[in-house]
Amino acid sequence: MEYRTERDSLGEKRVPAGVYYGVQTLRALENFQITAMPVATFPRFIQALAAVKKAAALANMELGLLDAGVGEAIVNACRDVRAGRFDDQFPVDVIQGGAGTSVNMNANEVIANRALELLGHPKGRYEVISPLNHVNLSQSTNDVYPTALRIALVWYARELSTALRDLRAAFDAKGDEFAGVIKMARTQLQDAVPITLGAEFAAWGVTIGEDIDRLDDAARLLCEVNIGATAVGTGINSVPGYASLVRERLADICGLPLVTAANLVEATSDAGAYVMLSGLLKRVAVKLSKICNDLRLLASGPFTGLHEINLPPMQPGSSIMPGKVNPVIPEVVNQVCYQVIGNDLTVTFAAEGGQLELNVFLPVIALNLFQSLQMLTKASRTLRERCVVGITANPERCLELVRHSLGVVTALAPVIGYETAARLAKEAQESGRSVPEVLQAEGIMTPEEFEELLDPAKMLSPRDVRRR
């Protein structure tokens, strides 16, 4: 293998000649062998980093700080990075010490060497285009990293929002399809009162829809960025007007309504927006997991469980029990949700652990938020495509359970009184007879009266029942 020699403040190192990253990235590779997850695992983050570097180059050129030829080469290099052509040149582990400095330098080096290549120079000719003096001009890791992080989070949040909208639509469609399937609702896993299967599915759609709106709110908050703050929020090593100009150019590049934080010192040290987003993702996870629990219960059996619905069979379920098919899609979504809930705790501790003017734990916050967003997006798509759209109902089974349930006795309480209705329910349970059979045996009402009163279809909405 051929090498080139690069130097930083700690000395010289040999860098493989063909790579676009440089000496500081190489040191990070040696220092941080942690997760085996490089920054390239999250391509939106690389795109956001390149967008920040492009905006900085444009602003620096407009302010007369950067030579036009060098600046244009940097801008064109950022274009290529944003297009995904150099994702494999971002090998730094997502979790690293240094508050993200290794990620920032990885981006600086790749963009500098690509810009050099575009101008016909060999990699490493940093006296022509420097990762620090040119690509990182007017910047610090402490404003580049969090700004790029927020932009990438907005993009990933939008993908999750789209996936949840599609999932909600699938539940809504099933709500319409199953609107006429009468079944027993259950509270505390005990028989309650009649409901329709469609009402259950429609309710899940509403549950998911609530979080779509909250995700959009979180994305708007994340559009408040600290680019221009440089090291601690004072803007040192930048010139007047840079902060507003670079934010304007960045907003144009990303197509996002970015605003400069009102207090850049606060914005550089605070991690509250990440905690809020993580909490919202936990809320999404809790709801999705609960829905998957319900789906597994309703499909349990088929002969010894509820068996009110059928989940589409995805794969054989056992290496020992022939014919067994398991609810593998809800199960995998459950596990995703448990991971997201755990990620939220990590984000909470990392946000709390920040000290004074900087939170050095943004890398682990980034990892957990990116992972939660990506996993929830994929899980939502998987749940919709490989489970919900293929669910079918068992109307006869549902109606059979209604007819044998004691829950219908609830409809008698306004007419014969709670105490009498409770006594009848107990007698039916102990004798093994149905509620209508007990009513008829005791002569409390005529068959026509209790058939009218106990019609499950008439228990699905409010009605005027006068007590005798």
The interaxial angle of helices 197-222 and 272-298, nearest 10 deg, is 170
pLDDT of residue 465: 66
Q: With 50 as the cut, is the pLDDT of residue 106 above it?
A: yes
pLDDT of residue 235: 94
Q: Of 161, 318, 372, 431, which is the active-site residue?
A: 318
Q: With 90 as the cut, is the pLDDT of residue 86 above it?
A: yes
Task: Supply φ then ψ for residue 29, to 5 degrees.
Answer: -65, -35
Specify the pTM. Answer: 0.91
Domains located in the chain, CATH noted? 3-137 (1.10.275.10), 143-396 (1.20.200.10), 406-459 (1.10.40.30)
The interaxial angle of helices 141-177 and 242-254, nearest 10 deg, is 30
CA–CA distance, 455 with 458 (Å, rounded to integer):
6
Q: Measuring CA to CA, which residue among 150, 149, 373, 154 is closest to residue 278?
A: 373
Count of Cβ atoms closer than 10 Å to residue 283 Cβ? 16
pLDDT band at 459 (very low <50, low <70, confident <90, very high): low
CA–CA distance, 103 with 88 (Å, rounded to integer):
13
435 or 333, which is more confident? Answer: 333
pLDDT band at 118 (very low <50, low <70, confident <90, very high): very high
Mean pLDDT of 30-54: 96
**What's the 3-state SS for 200-250?**
HHHHHHHHHHHHHHHHHHHHHHHCEECCCCCCCCCCCCCCCCHHHHHHHHH
Per mean pLDDT, which range of 97-106, 269-278, 385-394, 420-429 is the poorest? 420-429
pLDDT of residue 468: 46
Task: Based on the residue annotation, tell me whether 318 is a catalytic residue of this protein.
Answer: yes
Q: Measuring CA to CA, which residue among 160, 103, 51, 189 is closest to residue 364?
A: 103
Query: Are the CB atoms for 138 and 239 separated by under 8 Å?
Result: yes
Q: What is the DSSP string of 287-316?
A: HHHHHHHHHHHHT--SSSS--SEEPPP-SB
Query: Are the CB atoms for 84 and 42 separated by under 8 Å?
Result: no
Sign of the torsion formed by the C-alpha atoms of 125, 1, 12 and 9: positive
Q: With 90 as the cut, is the pLDDT of residue 421 above it?
A: no
pLDDT of residue 163: 98
pLDDT band at 77 (very low <50, low <70, confident <90, very high): very high
Find the helix or strand (DSSP H, E) in which 6 lies. strand 3-8
Q: In sequence order, what are the beta bridge partners of 5?
A: 14
Between β-strands 3-8 and 190-196, what pairing exists: parallel, antiparallel or unpaired? unpaired
Count of Cβ atoms closer than 10 Å to residue 390 Cβ? 15
Q: Please, how many CA atoms are within 13 Å of residue 144, restricted to the half-sphere of its CB?
A: 29
Q: With 80 as the cut, is the pLDDT of residue 448 above it?
A: no
